[in-house]
Amino acid sequence: MRRLENQTFLLLLALVTLAFGWILAPYYGAILWAVVLAVIFTPLNRRLQGWLGGRPNLAAAMTVLIVLAMVILPLALITASLLQEASGFYARMKSGEFNLAGTLQVMFNALPGWATGLLNRFGLTDMAAVRDSLAAGALKGGQVLAPQALSLGMNTFDFIVALGIMLYLLFFLLRDGRALAERIRQAIPLRADHKASLFGRFADVVRATVKGSILVAIAQGALGGLAFWFLDIEAPLLWAVLMTFTALLPAIGAGLVWLPVAIYLLATGAVWQGVGLIVYGVVVIGLVDNLLRPFLIGKETKLPDYLVLISTVGGSQVFGLNGFVIGPLIAAMFMVTWEILAGARQTALQTGR
């Protein structure tokens, strides 16, 4: 009878948890970023609480205002400018003012013999077809982005609701986060050392992903956009955002954007501009990762580059923009759970149990 009661309760617990997750699903992004920002800004909140004489409500409110001023408002302004610039860039491409196909043809014509041979080896001999595919892909991307700019006003209400939920939840996570984390820790039916590993890795990955990967990527994108603006490249803010996203990917980085542009400059006779962009990209944009990442992350746990690459790309495919955080987080939890299992099996073998 006791076993039946336990099983019934566990079933009820699973159903209620799934139902609760279902009703929260429309705003999972707001909840995710509230948790992420709470993890990042908890040290600041604790310092403010100490300076304010142990007043948690006031400290949490001040921290939320700092987050709003430092993160949310600048991001909203950049997003509005980006959507406007992307829509204008798409309109110029569609009208033929900016001939992407012709630009690509110039680059293909300027390729050296070894590069042409390499393309032949991979079966990319029909340059016209490659050019048309890339041009169609760029136009398709513009068709996706441009309507987002037009529908931004219609989605304003949903955005304001999500932003309000995130800030409201952030306040309570900052104020009561330690007690809430302790209650969750007590409810999880695992050994104390296993729970410590899981919670520790969760916080490490959030800090490493946001403080390290995202901030470094923003720095690289900003430096690249500044170079494009100085060289009078079309839509520098759009290219800066693209470099920010590609900089999140190890072994690829912002060079996926600025290197083809440098090649185009060289191919069109702008030799000094092309050489300058290559030197700037290698020396300034490339080295900022090595300079800033250790300072921002310190000794926090980092995932292998190949795992970060796979989990970031896969996470972005499944979860969209939020996948840049969710992907590495799931990968880290995957690794730590298997490390716990391996450690438990090793202990069992050594003790003969």
pLDDT in tens, 129-188: 555 555 555 555 444 444 444 444 446 677 788 888 999 999 999 998 888 878 877 877
User: What is the predicted pLDDT for the residue at 145?
Assistant: 47
Name the nearest CA neighbour of 251 among 326, 312, 328, 315. Answer: 312
- CA–CA dist 256, 23 (Å, integer): 40
Alpha carbons within 13 angstroms on the beta-carbon side of residue 243 total 28
User: What is the distance of C-alpha 185 from the center of its chain?
Assistant: 27
Alpha carbons within 13 angstroms on the beta-carbon side of residue 37 total 27
**pTM exceeds cut of 0.85:** no
Tokens of 34: 């509230």
User: What is the predicted pLDDT for the residue at 331?
Assistant: 84
User: What is the predicted pLDDT for the residue at 333?
Assistant: 80
Q: Contact at 8 Å (CB) between 208 and 301?
A: yes
User: What is the predicted pLDDT for the residue at 148?
Assistant: 47
| Length of the chain as a residue count | 353
- CA–CA dist 240, 246 (Å, integer): 10
Q: Contact at 8 Å (CB) between 212 and 293?
A: yes
- CA–CA dist 315, 247 (Å, integer): 16
Q: Tell me which amino acid residue 208 is.
A: A
User: What is the predicted pLDDT for the residue at 154?
Assistant: 45
User: What is the predicted pLDDT for the residue at 135?
Assistant: 53
Cα-based angle 143, 147, 151 (whole degrees, multiple of 5): 170
User: What is the predicted pLDDT for the residue at 120?
Assistant: 62
Question: Alpha helix locations (H) across the chain?
Answer: 2-24, 28-51, 56-67, 73-95, 100-109, 113-121, 127-150, 156-187, 192-207, 215-230, 236-247, 255-267, 271-280, 286-297, 305-319, 323-351
> What is the DSSP code string of 248-306?
TSTTT-THHHHHHHHHHHHHTT-HHHHHHHHHHIIIIIHHHHHHHHHHHHTT-----HH
Question: What b/e sequence results for 150-172 when a residue is b if at least 16 CB atoms lie within 10 Å of its CB, and e otherwise?
Answer: eeeeeeeeeeeebeebbbebbbe
With tokens 């569609």, the residue in question is 94
User: What is the predicted pLDDT for the residue at 325?
Assistant: 80
42: exposed, middle or buried (C-beta count within 10 Å: 0-12, 13-18, 19+)? middle
User: What is the distance of C-alpha 73 from the center of its chain?
Assistant: 18
Cα–Cα distances (Å) from 319 to 99, 167, 322, 330, in that order, read 33, 21, 6, 12
Residue spans of the chain under pLDDT 50: 125, 127, 141-154
